[in-house]
Amino acid sequence: MPLISVHTTKELNREQQDAIKKKLGEEITVLPNKTEAVLMVEFLHNDGMYFAGERQENCAFVEVKLYKEAPFENKRTYTELIFGLLEDVAGLDERNIYVAYVELPTWGTKGSLK
């Protein structure tokens, strides 16, 4: 189950959240063995974020947590999709969007640890 956390300084309305979630889900198959059926997306928006000691008004940090490693090129493709998506839907500048991947060797689900 991938978990994508979208942290942003901007307030995202329901339509924006739905549009971002929909596209993240449609494109998650770029990452091997990942599907929308097991994707979880969370939004933490209107967050106070600081970078280089300054409060940011137009910034986002996206964390993609995956069970097992994914190939670099697949992650690059998905990352570029995230940049374009947040720029188009939320009006964020890609220069102020940061994406990190956390790839975990174990994952607990359905009452057990994989």
Interval 26-76: pLDDT, tens = 999 999 999 999 999 999 998 889 988 999 989 999 999 999 999 999 999
Residue 63 domain flag: yes
Residue 100 domain flag: yes
**Given phi > 0 = left and psi -120 to 50 = alpha, else beta, which region is 109?**
beta
What residue numbers bound the domain in which 71 lies?
Answer: 3-108
**Residue 1, pLDDT score:** 82
* Amino acid letter, 20: I
User: Does residue 20 carry a pLDDT above 90?
Assistant: yes
Residues 24 and 62: beta-carbon distance below 8 Å = no
Residue 37 domain flag: yes
10 Å CB burial of residue 1 (0-12, 13-18, 19+) is middle
**Residue 98, pLDDT score:** 97
Residue 101 domain flag: yes
**Residue 114, pLDDT score:** 84
User: Structurally, how many domains does the chain consist of?
Assistant: 1
Residue 113 domain flag: no
Task: Give dist(CA 7, CA 52) in Å, integer.
Answer: 17
CATH number where 61 lies:
3.30.429.10
Task: Give dist(CA 113, CA 92) in Å, integer.
Answer: 37
**Residue 17, pLDDT score:** 97
The predicted model gives 90-107 an average pLDDT of 95
Instruction: Tell me the per-residue pLDDT of 79-98, one tens digit each, with 9 for 90 and over.
Output: 999 999 999 999 999 999 99
User: Does residue 10 carry a pLDDT above 90?
Assistant: yes
**Residue 47, pLDDT score:** 81
Polymer length of the chain = 114
Q: How many Cβ atoms are within 10 Å of 43's Cβ, its own excluded?
A: 16
Residue 71 domain flag: yes
**Residue 43, pLDDT score:** 97
**Residue 65, pLDDT score:** 98
Residue 114 domain flag: no
Residue 97 domain flag: yes
